[in-house]
């Protein structure tokens, strides 16, 4: 997971809010896949030729942000 992707996520909280409760894969400065499971999202990213994207689950609307 790269710093660039983490910074992008931080700067685009309003944009990604619509994906709350879902997993996203971010590569450089864009979301490349979205889904209900990390496995599903990673497989879709790999189908696009990206083997190691930044994966994160976005908190549901009733949850706060958390850091692992």
pLDDT tens column, 4-55: 888 888 899 888 989 999 999 999 899 999 999 999 999 999 999 999 999 9
> How high is the pLDDT of residue 27?
93
Q: Is the pLDDT of residue 62 over 80?
A: no
d(CA 55, CA 9): 11
Question: What are 25's strand-pairing partners?
Answer: 33, 55
How many residues are listed for the chain in this entry? Answer: 68
| pLDDT for position 30 | 92
Q: Give the global pTM.
A: 0.81
What beta strand segments (E) does 1-68 contain? 23-27, 30-35, 54-57
- How do beta strands 23-27 and 30-35 pair? antiparallel
Show the tokens assigned to 54: 């930044």
């Amino acid at each position: 997971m790269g710093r660039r992707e983490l910074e992008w996520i931080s700067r685009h909280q309003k944009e990604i809010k619509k994906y709350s409760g879902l997993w996203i894969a971010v590569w450089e400065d864009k979301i490349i896949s979205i889904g209900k499971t990390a496995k599903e999202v990673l497989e879709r990213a790999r189908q696009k030729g990206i083997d190691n994207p930044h994966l994160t689950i976005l908190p549901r609307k009733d949850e706060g942000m958390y850091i692992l």
